[in-house]
Every structure is written in structure tokens, then in C-alpha cells.
Chain A
Amino acid sequence: MPTYVHMTRCDGCGQCVDICPSDIMHIDTDIRRAYNIEPDMCWECYSCVKACPHNAIDVRGYADFTPLGSSVRVRRDEEKGVIAWRIIFRNGKKDWDLIAPITTKPWGTAIPDLNTATAPSDEMRNSDLLYNEPKYVRFDEGGLHTLKTNKLVMKEGVYY
């Protein structure tokens, strides 16, 4: 079910606007708070829920991972490198606290330099990891695909 913002907890910081992949979180200029302009187009990806510093955005838990009416709330703590979920059933019978790691090394470190990585061998390409992947992931046609190698140029600005 799509996201909704608790206007009393929101302070209009815009983190959800910046992170929404569907570009549907906007700031209402009259009351200066965030709101979902197109709930039908919500991907329910939970990006805005995780990005909100005030935990002001909620998504109703859906039937595929929790019974309807459950309270599903998440806290993504970047300094600790974990994400924590709490699911409370509507009849109060279950109240889970769940924690999982989201990074094993500090952010911004250990980013692999794909230029120096070797292409996968034929054996690796035919293994179950890469068998069904598209050609540009398997490096079937040579090296890494970049904008430059495909003679594409990114124009500045926002694309709608």
C-alpha cells in the first residue's frame, strides 16, 4: 500500500523528495510539508520511509509479507550500518524487533575499481551465477559498457 506522511512529524527537509525513485514525493508549498502526489505510482520501495530523519513516513504493511493492518516501521541507521524493522500485528499478538546489517565496511570505502577487474572466464560465464545474465554483464562482447564506449553523452538537467 502506498506511502503517506505524518504531517505533524514532517519538517519539510526534502530527503524523501531527493530519494524517491518514482519522483512522487513533493513538498506542499503552502504548509511546507512532504506528501505523496501520486499514490498509484508508488513502488512501495520504502526508500522515503528509510530516508526520513524524523520517521514521519509510513507504509501500510501489505499482505505478501505481513497481515493487513500491521504496523511496519523501519529505522535505517547508517552510522551503525544496520537496518531495524518492527512489525506489530493489529491484534497485538506479535511484536517483532528485527535487525540486519546493511554494510560490512564504512560507506565510501572498498568500492571496487571495475577498470582493473578481469573479465569473467568462459567457465564462470557458464556457471549458474552468470548463465542467464545479459551480455554486457557477462562481458561477452569485450570490456565494460560505459557511456563513452557506447558513444553516448549525458545532457545536464533533470529528465522527466
Chain B
Amino acid sequence: MLTTNPFAELSASYPDLFTPGVMQVYIILMVLFVIGGTIIDLMHKKSAKYFFGNAERSKKNAKRVLSSSEKNGLLVKTITNEVLTSSEFSNPKRRLSHLLIMYGFIFFVVATAVMIFAYPTGRGDATPAIWPLLWHLGALMLCVGGYWFWFAIRVDVAAEGKPWYKIAPRADMFILSLLATCTFALIWSFTKGMGIFFALFIISSTFLFSTVIWSKFAHMFFKPAAAYEKKVVWADGSREGLPDMPDLSSAEVHEKFPDIPTYMGKTPPDMGPGIRREPANHY
């Protein structure tokens, strides 16, 4: 069951209604929704204009010019750290949950596209077993990471003490439609046919991809760009206007700031955490 292609079975059961063409058009339509939604979001919020304007302003404060090999190195680092391993998260629970949801979504979407475009017809078990397996695994990872986030990690629940059923409509659109999509996908795969679960699956996935303008969906495009820009800005010396924190034992620092060797000695020790000793919890 985990190795049968549910879309091929659907197409075989209802050959007039669910032709491969219909399913493929649906996928293409969803992709267009995502692209169009992101572009309209960018234009409406003018985020691209502000992002690149900020980058230009930072360049003026830059202390050195980065070579293209340095920039490529930073791009690779962004991809390996922030994109592939979600290193932006310092909270381990949030990081693990995000990784589960992210990779689950990727497996699910890629397996869906492959099964619909490459193996849309024939018996369900004519498809190489890896794709339905990946599809089910992706949906399962989405469910595990997503429900864990929804019931325990979501900040309204974890920090504001709100019950898990209190929804903030616009903020929770993305996660709820993701959860609905993967849950109904799994239930439909096990119950088969064109029943209520298939309908709910299609409704929730259409909702997910068509509400890109209003939901948090587009963060997957903006975050890597922002992470890369931050790395560039820290490498070329503009540092968003923040000061440098050099090595306090260096002779250069001792010459420029004589207070440091006078009051802290030539090699100041690690002073330990101060006000950061406890996490903030009085709000």
C-alpha cells in the first residue's frame, strides 16, 4: 500500500475524469499560483525594492570589496547552513520541527510531481516503489513535524500560554493548510477512491498554494536571500552599521584603545554570561 501510486490508481479508476492531463494541469496551476502569489506579494509589500535599496546603502558603508569567489563561498555557506540545515534556528525543538516539515514538504511535492508526470497511468504498482514510498514518507514527516509544532512549539502556545485551538487566522493559514493537506493525503491514500478525503485533500492543497499572497508560504524564498545578504554585509565591513568586535589581545587594539590593556590586562579572560544568564520570561 505504501508502494502503490495513488494517482495512477485514481486515473485507472476514473479514466474519463482524472486523465493524466487533468492532474498535470492541476500541478502546473499550483506552481503558477505560487510564482504569481510571490510576485504579487513582492510588488504589494515592495519588499524587493527595500531589500535591494538596503543592500545598496550597505555597500556605501563597506570597508572592502568582496571578490566573486568570496561571494560564491558565502552563497555556498548560506545553502549548506541556513537552507539545508536550517541553522538560523538556535532552539533545537524549533529547528528539528522545521527540518521535518521542510524535507517532508520537499519529498511530498517532488514525489507528487514525478508520479503525476512520469507515471500517471497504469496499475498503481507499476511505478517504481521509491516514489510512492517517498510520497508517504514526506506526508508522514510533514504530519509529525507539523503537529508537533502546532500543539507544542507554536509561540502562541509555548510562550503566550494560549490553547492550541485558538487560531490567529492569517498567521496560521500556512501551517493549518499544510497539516490539512498531508493528513488528508495520507487518509486518502489508505482509503482510496474519490470520496470525501480526496475532496478534502484537493481543497486543502489548492488553498495552500493559492493563499501564498497572504500566508507565510513565501518565506522559503525570502529567508535564503536575507541570510545571504547578511553574510555579505558582515564580510565586507558594513555589518549593518554595527561595530567590529576584534580580538582584545591584539597589539592593534591595545594601541587604539589603551583602556583595554590598562583595566583588563593584556589578555582579557572570558567574563562569562551576564544579563543573558537567564532567558527572558518576565513578559
Contacts and interface: CB of A to CB of B under 8 A. Distances in A.
B257 A99 contact: yes
Contact of B244 (A78, A81, A97, A105): A97
Contacts of B276: 15, 53, 78
A107 B271 CA distance: 6
Nearest to B63: A95
Nearest to A77: B245
Interface in B7-65: 60-61
A79 B259 CA distance: 17
A82 B280 contact: no
B264 A79 contact: no
A10 interface: no
B275 A51 contact: yes
Question: What is the size category of the interface that chain A forms with chain B?
Answer: 35 or more
A112 interface: no
A107 B272 contact: yes
Q: Decide if the interface of chain B is mainly helix, strand, loop or mixed.
A: loop
B280 to A, nearest CB: 4
Contact of A29 (B160, B273, B277, B279): B160
A12 B155 CA distance: 9
Given A30-B168, A97-B243, A106 B283 contact: no
A107 B156 CA distance: 34
Nearest to B262: A101
B282 A106 contact: no
Interface string A14-45: 11011100000011011110000000000000
A13 B280 contact: yes
Interface in A62-89: 71, 73-75, 77-82, 84-86, 88
A75 B245 contact: yes
A142 interface: no
Contacts of B239: 86
Contacts of B128: none
Nearest to B239: A86
Nearest to B268: A81
